[in-house]
Amino acid sequence: MARVELYDTTLRDGAQTERISYSVQDKLRITEKLDELGVAYIEGGWPGSNPKDAQFFQLARKLSLKTATLAAFGSTRHAATAANDANLNALLRAETSTITIFGKTWDLHVRDVLRVSLDDNLRMIEDSVRYLKRRGRAVIYDAEHFFDGHRDNAAYALATLRAAQAAGADALVFCDTNGGRLPAEIAAAISAVRSHVRVPTGIHAHNDCGLAVANSVAAVQAGCRQVQGTVNGYGERCGNADLTSIIPVLQLKLGLACLPAQKIKELTEVSHFVAEVSNMGQTPNQPFVGATAFAHKGGVHVNAVMKNPRTYEHVDPALVGNQRKILVSELSGRSALVVKAKALNLELTKDTPQARRLLGLLQELEHRGYHFEAAGGSFELLLQRHLKHLKAFFELESFRIVVEKRGGQMSSEASIKLRVNGVREHAAAEGDGPVNALDNAIRKALAQFYPTLARMHLTDFKVRVLDEKAGTAAKVRVLIESQDEQDSWGTIGVSENVIEASWQALVDSIEYKLLKDQAGAGGGTRKARRAAGPRPAPRRSRA
The pTM assigned to this predicted structure is 0.70
Burial of 233: CB neighbours in 10 Å, binned 0-12, 13-18, 19+: buried
Are 373 and 328 spatial neighbours (Cβ–Cβ below 8 Å)? yes
Task: Give the whole-angstrom CA distance, residue 227 versus residue 216.
Answer: 7
For the chain, the distance separating the N- and C-terminal CA atoms, rounded to the nearest angstrom, is 57
Distance from CA of residue 267 to its chain's centroid? 11
Helix, strand, coil % (nearest 5) of the chain?
45, 20, 35
Q: Residue 248 has what pLDDT?
A: 97
Residue 231, CA distances (Å) to 30, 207, 270, 320 in order: 10, 13, 8, 14
**Other Cβ atoms within 10 Å of 415 Cβ, number:** 17
With H, G, I as helix, E, B as strand and everything else as coil, classify residue 155. Answer: helix
Are 57 and 51 spatial neighbours (Cβ–Cβ below 8 Å)? no
Q: What is the phi-psi region of residue 71: left when phi exceeds 0, alpha when psi lies from -120 to 50, beta otherwise?
A: beta
- How are beta strands 295-296 and 98-104 bridged, if at all? unpaired
Q: Residue 305 has what pLDDT?
A: 84
Q: Which residues contact 307 (CB under 8 A, 6 or more apart)?
A: none
Tens-digit pLDDT profile for residues 339-375: 666 666 666 666 677 777 777 777 777 777 777 766 7
SS (H, E, C) 370-418: CCHHHCHHHHHHHHHHHHCCCCCCCEEEEEEEEEEEECCEEEEEEEEEE
Q: Residue 473 has what pLDDT?
A: 61
Q: Residue 331 has what pLDDT?
A: 47
User: Using only C-alpha atoms, what is the Rg of the chain?
Assistant: 29
Tens-digit pLDDT profile for residues 247-292: 999 999 999 999 998 999 999 999 989 988 898 877 889 999 998 8
Task: Give the whole-angstrom CA distance, residue 128 versus residue 241.
Answer: 27
Positions of the chain with pLDDT lower than 70, given as ranges: 1, 326-351, 373-374, 389, 467-473, 520-543
| DSSP, residue by residue, 285-353 | T-TTTSTTTTEE-SHHHHHHHHH-GGGT-SS-GGGGT---EE--STTTHHHHHHHHHHHTT----TTSH
Task: Give the whole-angstrom CA distance, residue 415 versus residue 161.
Answer: 75
Which domains occur in the chain, in start order? 5-259 (3.20.20.70), 295-368 (no CATH), 395-531 (3.30.160.270)
| Pick from 438, 477, 459, 483: nearest CA to 537 | 459
Are 54 and 47 spatial neighbours (Cβ–Cβ below 8 Å)? yes
With H, G, I as helix, E, B as strand and everything else as coil, classify residue 491. Answer: strand
Are 257 and 38 spatial neighbours (Cβ–Cβ below 8 Å)? no
Q: Residue 531 has what pLDDT?
A: 31
Q: Residue 357 has what pLDDT?
A: 74
With H, G, I as helix, E, B as strand and everything else as coil, classify residue 480. Answer: strand
